[in-house]
């Protein structure tokens, strides 16, 4: 989906910028140009950062969950 019409930047490109570490609209703009002209796409860029930025904070491996789990991990998940 095209998010930034001024610079022809898709949501995939913006998502990639966020996955690579962009945490603000300005940082996304520096990487791909989105949000640097008319500003109409900035709310969408901000929303993508909010959603995807939070996902970067989630543990990525089962072992990351084991220390935080309040009880035993079911055997089918620990394999």
* 63 — pLDDT class (breaks 50, 70, 90): very low
pTM of the model: 0.69
The per-residue pLDDT for 68 is 46
Structure tokens belonging to residue 5: 């019409």
The per-residue pLDDT for 60 is 46
Q: Please, what is the average pLDDT of the chain?
A: 80
Neighbours of 46 (CB within 10 A): 14
Q: Which long-range contacts (CB under 8 A, 24 or more apart) does 51-59 make?
A: 52/15, 52/18, 52/19, 53/18, 53/23, 56/18, 56/19
**Which domains occur in the chain, in start order?**
2-57 (1.10.10.1100)
User: What digits encode the pLDDT tens for the residues 15-52?
Assistant: 999 999 999 999 999 999 999 999 999 999 999 999 99
The per-residue pLDDT for 57 is 52
């Amino acid at each position: 989906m095209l998010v930034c019409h001024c610079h022809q930047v898709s949501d995939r490109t913006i998502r990639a910028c966020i996955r690579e570490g962009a945490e603000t609209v300005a940082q996304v703009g520096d990487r791909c140009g989105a949000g640097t002209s008319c500003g109409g796409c900035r709310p969408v860029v901000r929303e993508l950062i909010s959603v995807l930025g939070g996902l970067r904070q989630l543990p990525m491996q089962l072992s990351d969950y084991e220390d935080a789990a309040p009880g035993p991990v079911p055997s089918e998940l620990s394999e």
